[in-house]
Structure formats: C-alpha cells, structure tokens
Homo-oligomer: A and B are copies of this chain.
Amino acid sequence: MYMSMQQKEIFLKHLNEMNHYKQALELMTWDRHTSIPNDGLQDRLEIVGFFTEKLHQLQTSDKMVNCFEQFLSSGDPILQQAAQVCKTTYEQKTNIPKEEYKAYAMLCSESEAVWHQAKQEDNFKLFEPFLEKIVSYKQRFAAYVGYESHIYDALLQEHEPGLEVKEIDEVFADLRPMLIDLLQRIKNSEAVVDASLLRVPFAIEKQKSMSLALLERIGYKLNKGRMDTSAHPYTFGINPNDVRISTYYDENDFTRSVFSAMHEGGHGLYEQNFGTDIQHTLLAEASSMGIHESQSLLWESFISKNKLFWESNQDVLKAYAPQEIQKLDLETFYRSLHQVSPSPIRLEADEVSYPLHIMIRYELEKDLISGKIKVSSIPEAWREKSAAYLGVTPSNDTEGVLQDIHWSSGDFGYFPSYALGYIYAAQLYESIDGALNMEQIYRDQNLHLVKEWLKEHIYQYGKRKTPLQLLKDTTGKGLQTDAYKTFLQDKYKGIYHL
C-alpha cells in the first residue's frame, strides 16, 4: 500500500509527541528516585498524573487509531511495526472500561499502604481482603484482554509477548529438580566459600570510582549517561543519548554497589544502543521485560562474576580496593563472590536459589488467577513451597508471602520474566562464546566486542523483534534450558568441589 509523505509526516509527528511525554515522565521518574526533595513529592505526583493523562489521550485518540490503521499493512518496514505497537498500546489502554480501571487504580494505591502495614505487623489477615479484590479485578481484566489456553496468559502478554503458561511450566518443571538438587549438593559440600572475606570497609567514593571504571570497560558511555545513588538500583532510559543508572552503597560490602552497577550497566547498554532508525518511533524500547533482564544478567552474572573478568581487571581492583581485598588471591576472591546460602527472602537470594523464589511466586499467582487456590490459603502454601524448594521455612509472613510489594500494586504476570532473563542470557552467552571466544575476549580486555555483538544482534532492534524471534535469530533455537543448566552446574561444581 502506498502511503503519502504527508501521511508519514503526520504519523511520525504523533509518535514524536508521545515520545516527548514519555521522555519527560522518565526524567521525572529519575528525579524522584535520585534527587527530589521530600516535600516536592506531592506536587510532582500531580504533574506526573497530568502528563500521564496527556499521554493517555494521545495513545487512545481517534487521530491515533486513524494513523496506526493506515500503517498496519503499509509495508513500510519501521512504521508498520510502530503501528503495531500503537495498536497494542491502544488495546491495552481501552479494553478495560475506564471507570473500572480507575476504581482498580485507587484500590491498588490503598492496598499498597495496607500491605506496608501488614508486612510491618506480620498480619496477613489485614491484607487478605485487598488481595482478594485485586485478584478478582485481574481475573476480569484477563477476560477483557482475552486468551486462548490459560487465563494467566493474558497477564503474561504485557511483560513477555509470545510466551504462555504452557511453555513456562515446561521450562520450570525442567529446571526445578536440577536447582533443588544443586542446592542440596552445595549444602552437603565441605568446601569453604566465605563471602565475609569481602565485607571490609571500602570508602564509598572509591566504590563509585571502581564501578565507573568497570562500566567504561563494558562499554557503557558516560557522555550518554550517568550513575547516581538511589534506594533501589535502577535504569532510567530517557532516550538512547541519555540513559542513567543508579546504584546503592554499603560501606562494608562493595559487592552490592559494584554488581548492581554491572547489572544496571547491562540494562543501560541495551538502552544506549537502540538503532537510530527507530528513535522517536516507540520501537526504541526493550523487546520484553525478560530480554531486558537478560541483558542485565548477562553482564552481571555471566560476565562480571566470571573469574577471567577479574583476572583481566586486576588493575581496577589495585586502583581502588582496600588492602584486605587486594591481598586475596584470585581464586579466593572469585569463590567469595559465590557463597550460596538460601534465605526465605528473594532480595537476599544467591544465584542458585533465586529462580526457585521466582517459581514459588509464579506458581502461586498462576493458581490465584485461575481460581485453583484461595487467597486465605496462600500463606500456608508459601511456607510449604519455600520448605520444599529452598529448604528454608519463613519464620513468619513478613519473611514469606508478604515480603514483596508486587501483588499489592496489582503486578501479576511479571515475575516469570526474572527467571526467563537468566535462561535467555545463558543461551545468548553460549552464542557469543561460539562467535567470539570469551576466554580470548577477557584476556585481551576486549569486552567492547561483546557489546558490539549484542548491538548487532539484540540492542539495535528494540521492539522490532519479539523475545522468541531474537532467540531464534541469534541461537537458532527456541527457549531452551540446557545452556542455563550447564552454566550453573559447571560454575558451582568448580566452586563447591561437587
């Protein structure tokens, strides 16, 4: 179909306008996490609400519908995909009746406050009626959105387009026994792996300089970004030329700030390297939440926790780390980064326990949405799964079912992406190793070549490819757990002498 220059210009202008509001909102998010004075929050919320409403109007206007319908089968390689994103957004914004969504948003806002109190008082009963209402909204919303086989698929789509319960169930069923077994063998191992060797005073300014030096090595550009401090590490992609990350500091545990910086640096590399051809088109966003997470985990877990990474970055350690760290031999340093000790709390989990935490929540939220389990039975079910998977039973609901805010904010269908990120990352790392020879890359301090590979195969496409397309085009395969299982087993076999 032939589209006139004028039609193109109008569509591009609309896309650009939405992009302007999005950039302003992202800047305000960054500001809220890193800079805003306390008393400024109230006014800011009002402005964020105003701009969000303006953006919503653009996303759902008749003009916009007219635009995207014209371009859905236009044959223009980029605008056709941009039209698809606009259509999906339009449907997400309009398939739920406005009044119902408003009531739900108010419920969530109240519910978050109640969750805070319930967590503080270890009182699940307080939160229970709110969770019941939220689940029932989510069930209705899923019906509005529609699904083919499982009701939870409707919620998954928002975060991981193209993936369904069936596939995730298979993958998790495959991983679960391996992880439980690995945890058990580590527990039985007599090897000494002691993270406390790294917990020595380390000036925050020096931690910061060390993180910045490592970020430079992996190719994160400070002329297109900056690193701030915030309560939770975060990446703020305002546009590809302005991608800010944040980290946090524990003066007695530099691993928190440095590996958070590597994690957010991975997200940041993705956002700094979207193709220039898709900027301002709404396609300059991550393919999915899981793919975004795969980029942070690739750089954090697969690369910056690799022994060879630290061998080739000894000069950075020498420049910034205190004597107590420098005097550790490389093997001890590396092993200390990998102490495994299951905790009931996800945010304190090691690499081996982490996916099991995800499975606990995924299985329970899936059963909540499908009606297989009642809200009142959740605390007990949580304890049982925690004991069965992690070998630890939370001593109360604060450490158990109440530990995370997500359900109280209505975030369902979001957790699986954390685990999918690991699996994608393992598959990608395997492909990169095949193409570039990672051992040589580390030895030659050539990590920028990894960034270039990712730019060519992943980053530049933004939303132009789905997660499964990206996997297929880079690995020739679909979602597969082999690489991830091999990675974990090999790594911990070495560390714990299994």
Contacts and interface: CB of A to CB of B under 8 A. Distances in A.
Interface of A: 17, 20, 23-24, 27-28, 31, 35-40, 42-44, 46-47, 50-51, 221-226, 238-239, 241-242, 244
16 contacts: A20-B46, A20-B50, A23-B43, A23-B47, A24-B24, A24-B28, A35-B226, A37-B222, A37-B223, A37-B225, A37-B242, A37-B244, A39-B221, A43-B239, A43-B241, A44-B242
A242 B47 contact: no
B40 A238 contact: yes
Contacts of A40: 224, 238-239, 241-242
Contacts of A44: 242
Contacts of A36: 242
A20 B47 contact: yes
B27 A31 contact: yes
Nearest to A31: B27
A interface, over-half SS: helix
Q: Which of A38, A46, A223, A241 has the most CB of B within 10 A?
A: A241
Contacts of A47: 20, 23-24
A27 B48 CA distance: 13
A144 to B, nearest CB: 31
Given A39-B221, A42-B241, 9 more contacts: A20-B50, A20-B51, A23-B47, A24-B24, A24-B28, A24-B47, A27-B31, A37-B225, A40-B241
A338 to B, nearest CB: 34
Contacts of A39: 221, 223-224, 241-242
A157 to B, nearest CB: 30
Contacts of A20: 46-47, 50-51
A17 B223 contact: no
Contacts of A31: 27, 31
Contacts of A221: 39
A168 to B, nearest CB: 37
Nearest to A205: B205
Nearest to A38: B223
A225 B223 CA distance: 27
Nearest to A46: B20
Q: Which of A42, A43, A51, A223 has the most CB of B within 10 A?
A: A43
B242 A17 contact: no
A146 to B, nearest CB: 36
A32 to B, nearest CB: 11
Contacts of A239: 40, 43
Nearest to A224: B39
A50 B23 CA distance: 12
A139 B435 CA distance: 68
A15 to B, nearest CB: 13
A242 B32 CA distance: 12
Contacts of A241: 37, 39-40, 42-43
Contacts of A224: 37-40
A24 B27 CA distance: 10
Contacts of A38: 223-224
A28 B25 CA distance: 11
Contacts of A27: 27-28, 31
A212 to B, nearest CB: 13
Contact of A50 (B17, B35, B238): B17
A17 B46 CA distance: 10
A-B CB proximity, top 7 nearest: A40-B242, A39-B241, A39-B224, A38-B223, A20-B50, A40-B241, A43-B239
Nearest to A44: B242
Q: Which of A28, A37, A46, A223 has the most CB of B within 10 A?
A: A37
A238 B43 CA distance: 10
A282 to B, nearest CB: 15
Contacts of A50: 17, 20
A220 to B, nearest CB: 11
A364 to B, nearest CB: 40
Contact of A226 (B23, B28, B37, B223): B37
A239 B45 CA distance: 13
A35 B225 CA distance: 9
A209 to B, nearest CB: 15
Nearest to A272: B39
Contacts of A28: 24, 27
A24 B24 CA distance: 8
A285 to B, nearest CB: 15
Nearest to A226: B37
